[in-house]
Amino acid sequence: MKNVISLRDLEEMIRQGHDLRSLPAEAILTPSARDFLRDLEWNGGGKAKPASAAADTGKPAGNGKPQPPSKPLTSRSPKAELDAFFNSPYCEDLKRQICDIGRRLWERAYVDGNGGNIAIRVGDDLVLCTPTLVSKGFMKPEDMCLVDFEGRQLGGTAKRTSEILMHLQMMKAQPKDVASVHCHPPYATAFAVAGVVPPTCMIPEYEVFASVAIAPYRTPGTPEMGKLVADLVDKHNTILMANHGVVTWSHNSAEEAYWRMEIIEAYCRTLLVAAQLGRPAKTFTTEQLQDLLKIKQSLGFVDPRYGLKECELCDNEEWRPGVQCAVPPRPGAEAGYDAEAEAAVQAITDQILAQMK
């Protein structure tokens, strides 16, 4: 096959009954050929759409990135089709994205040793993922693996990460999850080790992009661990894994799941620095939080706080060292209690004094 493929070549391939998904990875497309492939419409059958390469840039489809096949493959597709798909321009582009995200995780010291893993959904029950025992900073596209929803490896020569089972359990529990990132960023992991969900109402970006919960500790890579995380993905997109690390997911792209990692880590770091300034950290009001939650909902991000009343939104009581919540205490609550207690003490004192007379 030619290295440079024109629109006329693609039309000829279709006339001859060739599958356009089997274009070689190294194929260079002319602009009109790229436009043609881009315009082939995606039909996901109402199911979660595999992560779009185009979505990763935040632009709508049409930026010249390879698009997914018009009919999604499944683990039951013929092996030849799966092999062609795994080597298609679409998958090759996603493999390069995984390498790029891995490099950023490593450069930011979010991963240590061979830690961390990345998964992108590319079909009904097909997932591209990182290999085991490779530093995330130095991965190559040819290291990537293709697995089905049970974790069986269908493509790639390197062995898939053992933690893929957790990513798969998340995707099964949350049909919108098309990509997930797991790593060990030190500040967020410190909160996970301490068992503290970061307090809210301090930085808008965190409120809009992240929805955080803690999953209890289990041995990494076991179904028990995966289940405890998967149980939370209905309403949370950023899970602190106790005594381990963090996993994030996105309904748009791996890039967005990665952004969540930057956001949770920057937030936890900022909180710890703020806690050293000698003054209680201030918060914005629950009315202001409510505005952010409206933006969040419009972006399609999950959050357990939608529909809560403003008086139910303040949850900073457990944070130490202290955060000063902008929500005032319930009017009269303290005073009422004190008055009653004082009256009771007075009555008892009076009784004792009367008996002593």
Quick check: is 342 catalytic? no
* Encoded tokens for 25: 């990875």
Residue nearer to Zn ion on the CB measure, 9 or 177: 177
| 226 contacts Zn ion (rule: CB under 5 A) | no
Residue nearer to Zn ion on the CB measure, 166 or 201: 166
Q: What is the contact mask toward Zn ion in residues 228 to 257, using x (rule: CB under 5 A)? A: -----------------x------------
DSSP-derived secondary structure letter, 306: T
Catalytic residue (choose from 11, 26, 163, 265): 163
Residues whose CB falls within 8 Å of the CB of residue 143, separated by 6 or more in sequence, listed in order: 99, 130, 131, 134, 156, 158
- Is the CB of residue 188 less than 8 Å from the CB of residue 214? no
CA dihedral 82, 84, 88, 92 (to 10 degrees): 60
In the bound complex, what is the minimum distance in angstroms from residue 267's beta carbon to Zn ion?
Answer: 20
In the bound complex, what is the minimum distance in angstroms from residue 72's beta carbon to Zn ion?
Answer: 29
- Is the CB of residue 202 less than 8 Å from the CB of residue 284? yes
Residues of this chain, 28-47, that bind Zn ion according to CB under 5 A? none
- Is the CB of residue 257 less than 8 Å from the CB of residue 56? no
Residue nearer to Zn ion on the CB measure, 27 or 158: 158
Q: How many CA atoms lie within 13 A of 334 on its CB side?
A: 4
Q: What is the contact mask toward Zn ion in residues 316 to 355, using x (rule: CB under 5 A)? A: ----------------------------------------
Q: Choose among 20, 99, 100: nearest CA to 66.
A: 20
In the bound complex, what is the minimum distance in angstroms from residue 189's beta carbon to Zn ion?
Answer: 9
Residue nearer to Zn ion on the CB measure, 166 or 302: 166
Residue nearer to Zn ion on the CB measure, 198 or 245: 245
Cα–Cα distance, 70 to 302 (Å, whole number): 28
Residue with CB nearest Zn ion? 245
CA dist list (Å): 117 to 47, 88, 91, 199: 24, 22, 17, 27
Number of residues that bind Zn ion (CB under 5 A): 1
Q: Which residues are catalytic?
A: 163
Q: List residues binding Zn ion (CB under 5 A).
A: 245
